[in-house]
Amino acid sequence: MTEVSPGQFLQGPCPSLALSELPFLSPPPLFDVRTAEEYTQGHIPGALNQPLFDHFERSTIGTLYKQVSPESAMAAGLRYVEPRVQQLVESFQPWQKQPLIVYCARGGMRSVSVVRLLNSKGFTAQQLRGGYKHYRQHVLQALEQWSPSLIVLHGPTGVGKTLLLKQLPDHLDLEDLAQHRSSLFGGIHRHPRTQRQFEGLLHQAKLALPTDRSFFIEGESRKVGPVFIPTPLAKAMQKGQKVLLHASLETRIDRTLADYLVEDEATVAEVDQILQSLRMALGRQLVDHLRDCLRQNRLRELVAILLNDYYDPRYYNSMKNYHYAAEFSAENLDQTVDDLRKFRDDVAAASG
């Protein structure tokens, strides 16, 4: 095992770069050396987690720092890392020939230590100054100032809004970023993201979107599953050019079934649990019928009832609050894409 001296962690230069120098859309290998728990709550998109300490170790070091001394905390950190330094270095080995960027919570000793260690082993590593905290402040500030020009797609469940977004140029798919379809069943087959993850990915998407013309977005409530849309973007959606999409019930059933595959026991159990939560809204008798449809794999009937009796009444009640600049059929998605492209061109021409 490689011998570790305190000097490898505590001495020597620590090259660094500012957040403004980080190419967000095509960053070099980026490493988050915070604990797995910190990383899971939120990280810079694209960063890989290579934790220097686990949660218990970090907590212990923090307690020593506050209650004993910084020196005691540093000594404890070295004791934790020393037995596994070889493993730590080897975990970075696939990127040895590339410039690396390392960050921790605030640009403190965790990232400084790893950068110094890696550079002493022949790597080319830099610390991201300010760490995740500075990045997080930057993201919140950028999103707080973002009020883009939008074309907002509206329509009942299953009409194909998400399918259309994927075929349209210059679009923002909030449900994809949130990993939630923004409906009662929206978390099925998904791993919904935390608010911090969502905002980081939203900031990343923002950088790739045009600033000189409108882009497409799906109409959403203020929440997409467990996460909230930033207030300025939500207001921009309210002000945007709203387009209402139509499709037949049969088409909407087909698209809903394709989107929500119910093929395994775990998914059936999850859907059944959600159906039971609808007793207050739909009544026990209808919910029991829906559960029978689920158990007997009569999924088309299940979806038809949910659309007719649950989703559509709520949607058509809410749509009264909006004025729509245009309405299009979404039966043929290719044709609808052409219609929406032309609509955007017309909006741009009208605005000068």
Q: Comparing C-alpha atoms, which of 192, 191, 185, 187 is closest to residue 158? A: 185
Band (241; pLDDT cuts 50, 70, 90) = very high
Closest CA to 105 of 192, 196, 219: 196
Q: If pLDDT is split at 50, 70 and 90, which confidence band does 10 have?
A: low
The answer to whether 48 and 30 have CB atoms below 8 angstroms apart is: yes
Average pLDDT score, the chain: 92
The candidate with the shortest Cα–Cα distance to 344, out of 150, 111, 116, 91, is 150
Report pLDDT digits (tens) over 329-341.
999 999 999 999 9
pTM higher than the cut 0.75: yes
First to last CA, the chain: 69
Residue 350 pLDDT > 60: yes
Cβ of 55: how many Cβ atoms within 10 Å? 12
- C-alpha angle with apex 55: 51 to 60, nearest 5 degrees? 115
Query: Which residues have a Cβ under 8 Å from the Cβ of 343 and sit 6 or more positions away?
Result: 151, 241, 243, 325, 326, 328
3-state secondary structure of 102: strand
pLDDT at residue 262 tops 90: no
Dist CA 312 CA 308 (whole Å): 6
Q: List, for residues 84-117, the tens digit of each pLDDT value.
A: 888 999 999 999 999 999 999 999 999 999 999 9
pLDDT at 1: 40
- Residue 2 above 80 pLDDT? no
> Three-state SS for 209?
coil
- The band of 247, judged by pLDDT with boundaries at 50, 70 and 90, is very high
Q: Is the pLDDT of residue 302 over 50?
A: yes
Mean pLDDT of all residues in 131-156: 97
CATH numbers and ranges of domains, the chain: 6-139 (3.40.250.10), 147-350 (3.40.50)
Q: Which residue has the tokens 């021409």?
A: 349
At 5 the pLDDT is: 54
The rounded radius of gyration (Å) of the Cα atoms in the chain is 25
177-202 residue pLDDT tens: 999 988 888 888 778 899 999 999 99
pLDDT-based confidence at 26, cuts 50/70/90?
confident
Q: How far is the C-alpha of 24 from the C-alpha of 166, rounded, in Å?
A: 22
